């Protein structure tokens, strides 16, 4: 029972903490301007009366809900701003010195390698796909082609994993595929969270 609740607790922990921090900062900024209950009037007086009628427990729950909502909004805005600023800086010459540069490069290289590997596997199994790749290689041959005819090219691709990787990189814009996969990574995270297996739970913990 407790194990099934832990992912949900982890899900609300960060926005709740951020929300309480923002409410505390707001209180420190404008708390001294809020009148005491005996001198309050208008909306502030109504809030005091509602809090008195509801009790401390209800007030605590209401504050926690408000903190969670504030935290969700602030967290999303903060992440979006961080990603936007980081992406903008990485597009400049100063991008190479940013903390996320090497991480982004390693992630992109790993996705490109994965795409090439999967397509190379498909190249050896899917005859129609292999035919299209061979057509591209014959139509736009490299300076020193490893094979002259379609039959020779197909034999090389079926025999050598290295040649399959080379053919995929010559004919498929794998970098564009990697970019599309990177843009879908949030969707991948949500799909992982919807699966209740040990790998998904471990990802959520990390």
In the chain, which residue ranges form alpha helices assigned H by DSSP?
2-30, 42-54, 56-90, 99-125, 127-139, 150-159, 161-171, 174-183, 185-193, 198-205
Measured CA distances, 42 to 51, 59, 167 (Å): 15, 19, 75
pLDDT of residue 1: 47
For the ranges 23-32, 94-103, 118-127, the lowest mean pLDDT is seen at 94-103
pLDDT of residue 115: 87
**When comparing pLDDT for 129 and 32, which is higher?**
129
Give mean pLDDT, residues 147-165.
79
The Cα–Cα gap between 20 and 105 comes to 36
Give mean pLDDT, residues 150-177.
82
Q: Which residues of 130-166 are buried (b: 16+ CB within 10 A; e: fewer)?
A: beebbeebeeeeeeeeebeeeeebbebbeeeeebbbb
Closest residue by Cα to residue 157 from 121, 202, 201, 105: 121
The Cα–Cα gap between 141 and 129 comes to 18
Averaged pLDDT of the chain: 77
Measured CA distances, 152 to 27, 84, 132, 133 (Å): 76, 49, 15, 13
On the question of pLDDT at 169 being above 80, the answer is yes
Are the C-beta atoms of residues 174 and 168 closer than 8 Å to each other?
Answer: yes
pLDDT of residue 7: 52
The Cα–Cα gap between 206 and 204 comes to 5
Residue partners of 117: CB distance under 8 A and separation at least 6: 165
The Cα–Cα gap between 196 and 206 comes to 15
């Amino acid at each position: 029972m407790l194990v099934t609740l832990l992912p949900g607790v982890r899900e609300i922990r960060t926005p709740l903490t951020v929300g309480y921090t923002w409410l505390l900062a707001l209180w420190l900024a404008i708390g001294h301007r809020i009148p005491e209950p005996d001198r309050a009037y208008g909306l502030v007086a109504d809030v005091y009366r509602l809090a008195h009628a509801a009790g401390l427990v209800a007030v605590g729950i209401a504050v926690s809900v408000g903190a969670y909502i504030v935290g969700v909004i602030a967290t999303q805005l903060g992440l979006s701003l961080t990603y936007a600023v980081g992406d903008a800086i990485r597009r400049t010459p100063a991008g190479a010195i940013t903390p996320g540069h090497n991480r982004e490069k390693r992630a992109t290289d790993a996705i490109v390698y994965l795409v090439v590997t999967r397509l190379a596997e498909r190249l050896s199994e899917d005859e129609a796909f292999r035919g299209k790749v061979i057509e591209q290689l014959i139509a736009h041959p490299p300076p020193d082609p490893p094979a002259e005819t379609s039959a020779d090219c197909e034999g090389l691709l079926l025999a050598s994993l290295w040649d399959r990787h080379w053919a995929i990189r010559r004919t498929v814009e794998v970098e564009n595929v990697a970019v599309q996969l990177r843009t879908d990574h949030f969707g991948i995270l949500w799909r992982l969270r919807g699966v209740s297996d040990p790998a998904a739970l471990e990802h959520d913990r990390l």
